[in-house]
Amino acid sequence: MKNIIYILFTSILALSLSNCSKTSEKAASKNQQIEAKNHNDIEVTKAQFESSRMALSGITEQSFPSIIKTTGMIDAPPQSIEIISSFSGGFIKKSTLLIGDKVKKGQALVTIENPDFIELQQEYLETVEQLTYLKSEYERQKVLFDEKITSQKNYLKAESEYKRSIAKANGLRKKLQLLNINPQNVEQGNITSIITLYASISGSITQINVSKGVYVSPADTIMEIINTDHIHIELTAFEKDLMQIKEGQKIKFKIPEASKSFYDAEVHLVGTSIDEISRTAKVHGHLHDDEKNNFAIGMFVDAEIETTSSNVTAIPESAIVESGEETVILKLESFKNDIYTFETIEVSIGKKYNGFVEIVSENLKSTDKILTNGAYGLIGSESGGHNH
């Protein structure tokens, strides 16, 4: 029995010593890591570097513009918008278009019927017919007056009636043309009670306010056409920023409700008057490659106008790691025997632009190499920080 107890005790003791040895080795390894960190050194093998797809980069000079943030909307110039209305009231006879339909310049849009159109054409036709007689009478009276056969009174009366009739015929002819009625057809006896409204620009139907059989008056908007071939952005800039905005400056904007992508534009016009209530002015921007994007009129935009620029010392944002209250990067100290040795350097950061961040540190030189991909895995996960 004693022998059994002795053997059991010996086994337990050996096992305990073995565990203690392994624990000591782990503790020693951990202490070495902690010690390495205390000395701001982190070592990575070449195999780890490549398998983790780490990357190095130099410290560069980058041009950072000053940014003015604004908001606005997608809009179209006045010449690209047409409001369809009639010069005379009437009932909608035919309307086959829907919102979103594309139309071409000169295309028939809607027809309107009104008996008054017949009366207008009758009056024009009568005036034209009477004009032939009045002209003949005027010429006759002129000959008689020149030969001193008739009085000046009769001559002037004939002249006045003839010229008044010309003016009336010209006015009625213009009215017919505004209603898209051909005066020559009327003179040939072709009288109609229906007029047709045509598109004067190509574009898309954005509004339709009538349907068949509805009466419209001359002031009513029947439909709206917008040509989106040359849309722009209309931004609102505050008074304090206005003097920094100049023609030709770059604009980056996005449609927050539709996409996270940024699009390019440039300042084309800067407003010269300030709204008394909002203390803002309008900034007109021209889009780059607007025909390649499916923008819609009225879309809300967030925009950044790039004004003056300055050169700063910068590194890629991916190199920055927040460790506790510190912002740090990993600078390459050496590469020997397939071992990368990095030093943890605390830096101060400034402006950010286009994937780069401005840095300030007395421990960095322009020739230094820094870890731009993989720094978070070496520092952030251990310190509880997060990648920037």
Question: pLDDT, tens digit, for every residue of 372-387?
Answer: 888 877 775 444 444 4
pTM of the model as a whole: 0.60
pLDDT of residue 259: 80
pLDDT of residue 380: 52
Return d(Cα 69, Cα 235) in angstroms, integer. 10
Q: Are residues 58 and 151 in the same domain?
A: no
Of the pLDDT bands very low, low, confident and very high (cuts 50, 70, 90), residue 305 is very high
Question: pLDDT, tens digit, for every residue of 243-277?
Answer: 999 999 999 999 998 888 889 999 999 998 999 99
pLDDT of residue 290: 66
- When divided into structural domains, the chain yields a total of 3
Which stretches within the chain are classed as H helix? 2-38, 46-51, 116-146, 152-178, 183-187, 239-242, 375, 381-383
pLDDT of residue 144: 83
Element (H, E) at 350: strand 348-353
pLDDT of residue 40: 61
For residues 79-103, average pLDDT: 92
Is residue 24 assigned to a domain? no
Question: pLDDT, tens digit, for every residue of 102-140?
Answer: 999 999 999 999 999 999 999 999 999 898 888 888 888
**Mean pLDDT across the chain:** 83
As to burial, measured by CB atoms within 10 angstroms (0-12 exposed, 13-18 middle, 19+ buried), residue 299 is: middle
Return d(Cα 347, Cα 327) in angstroms, integer. 6
Residue 332 sits in a domain of what CATH number?
2.40.420.20
pLDDT of residue 61: 84
Question: pLDDT, tens digit, for every residue of 176-233?
Answer: 999 999 999 999 989 999 999 999 999 999 999 999 999 999 889 999 999 888 889 9
Q: Are residues 74 and 84 in the same domain?
A: no
Domain-ending residue, one of 279, 309, 339: 309
Q: Is the pLDDT of residue 36 over 60?
A: no
Of the pLDDT bands very low, low, confident and very high (cuts 50, 70, 90), residue 291 is low
pLDDT of residue 15: 44
pLDDT of residue 83: 93
Is residue 194 assigned to a domain? yes
Least confident piece of the model among 41-50, 70-79, 208-217:
41-50
Residue 196 sits in a domain of what CATH number?
2.40.50.100
Which residues fall within 8 angstroms of residue 111, CB to CB, at 6 or more apart? 92, 93, 94, 95, 194, 195, 196, 197
- The pair of structure tokens assigned to 358 is 């401005």
pLDDT of residue 230: 83
Domain-ending residue, one of 269, 286, 309: 309
Is residue 99 assigned to a domain? yes
Q: Is the pLDDT of residue 344 over 90?
A: no
Task: Report CA-CA distances (Å) from 372 to 64, 69, 376, 381.
Answer: 20, 29, 9, 16
Domain-ending residue, one of 277, 309, 341: 309
Return d(Cα 190, Cα 371) in angstroms, integer. 86
For residues 28-41, average pLDDT: 45
Question: Which residue would you say has higher pLDDT here, 201 or 359?
Answer: 201
pLDDT of residue 39: 52
What domain range includes position 305? 66-78+227-309
Q: Are residues 55 and 103 in the same domain?
A: no
